[in-house]
Structure 1
């Protein structure tokens, strides 16, 4: 099968043999595609090699042969955003999520659009935590593992003043008021869940409340092997200086 003029985002690239690359891309019409790009490491093909770096938006031509397609040509459609620090780590995290949870060959134009929007937000001043939670929500919905963000697992409307644990199979479970503070601190606020349902940014505290419950849902679907980006985030947290006073 020939893939002609397909637009895609490069998720991952690694050297293969002496002059080639193995690529993973998220395409508009064919979903995730594995590609072999032969000979792109040679000095004369530096323009093509630059177009095949992660985060780059490209138009490609390829011939599908089994599990991997043979890339025949590609061109950059824009300049990839210049990310550093936490934004770059966030991009690595999103790419890793897609590679682990989205099978190759599943057409998902809605995820392609969600990724395009997220890529733009990573390069802007949009709150990073909210950007990540929105993409996690969209990815879970695309792979058929999303939750009813505005109702709990029993069909009751989410109470913005309550807190909820996220059960990957059942849905949101309201946390009883007599539960310990530690358990409540790791539960999502109802206001945060309703913000996900309505796609409107909540307060910073409500965004923060979504992080651990969403990670639990993702970890369930990822299985026993976690994400390298989670390990990197843990290491980064241990390297940060301890706060010594107000505002630190």
Structure 2
């Protein structure tokens, strides 16, 4: 049965085919071979690329499935991502490729991903949508943390003025070392309520999400982040 899908990445395969990394609504991340997709008359030729909402079918029992159907969703238009939005879309795709296990249930994350792409298309501000997807991804990975209580003592953060974030642990009120970034508890409480209108607070959320994801990404740098910096030299982490 056909299901909603988007292409995360594609590779050339032999002379006329492509390998596609798909993010699907029912089967999560799936890798398929699109036989003949590079041929001039193939109906898949213009569809087998990122950010086009698709319907897909595939078959096979191995890790590499065989694509049997790929067509555009009739009720949606191609997502228009350009400039910073395009780089941000590649960033989302790379996060999914790196962190979401193959062929695992991820229907809620799929919907979050699709909504994020639509939000980035419609909004002038990209950052809030990115940060919200990162949070949904952490929840999907079972790595969500508590915004209101000290992960060491269990005490309410509201009893304190300052706190610190420990990746894969949560917020604490006692720093591990003098290099840790301190956060005002009042700001964390606003971030917990998703109050991201303030640019300074939104930047703090970026630091928190980046630290939280770093545990799972490891030392290998994100190609999409390096590509963005290469085209935006003034950008700083």
User: Do these two structures clear the TM 0.5 threshold for a shared fold by scoring above it?
Assistant: yes
Structure 2 matches for 1:28-177, cutoff 5 A?
28-45=25-42, 47-77=43-73, 78-154=76-152, 155-159=154-158, 162-174=161-173
- Label 1:133 to 1:157 Cα distance change in 2 as closer, same or farther (>3 A): farther
Indicate how the Cα distance of structure 1 residues 19 and 30 shifts in structure 2: closer, same or farther if over 3 A, else same.
same
- 1:21 maps onto 2:18 in alignment: yes
Task: Please identify, of 72-81 and 152-161, the stretch whose mean Cα deviation from structure 2 is larger.
Answer: 152-161
- Distance between the aligned counterparts of 1:169 and 1:239, measured in 2? 30
* Structure 1 or 2: more helix by fraction: 1
Output the CA distance in 2 between the equivalents of 1:158 and 1:132: 26
The alpha carbon displacement at 1:128 in A equals 1.3
Count of matched residue positions in the alignment of Structure 1 and Structure 2: 231
Distance 1:190 1:126 in 2: 29
CA offset digits 1:54-104 (Å, max 9, x no partner): 011111111033111100111111322121111101001010011000110
In structure 2, what is the Cα distance between the partners aligned to 1:219 and 1:26?
Answer: 22
Q: Distance in 2 between matches of 1:90 and 1:233?
A: 8
Residue of structure 2 in register with 1:244 after alignment: none
Q: Which digits, 9 at most, give the CA deviation of each residue in 1:141-200, with x for residues without a partner?
A: 101112113333133334499454321232112367xx97xx57x445545543453344
**Cα displacement string for residues 111-167 of structure 1 (whole angstroms, at most 9, x for unaligned residues):** 011111101011012521111111111101101112113333133334499454321
TM-score w.r.t. length of structure 2: 0.87
Match of 1:246 in 2: none
Unaligned runs of 5+ in 1: 241-248
Distance 1:130 1:187 in 2: 21
Residues 195, 53 of structure 1: CA spacing in aligned structure 2 closer, same or farther, 3 A cutoff? Answer: farther
Bigger mean CA offset, 230-239 vs 24-33: 230-239
Q: What 5-or-longer segments of structure 2 have no aligned partner?
A: none
**SS of alignment partner, residue 49 of structure 1:** coil
1:130–1:207 CA contact under 8 A, matched in 2: yes
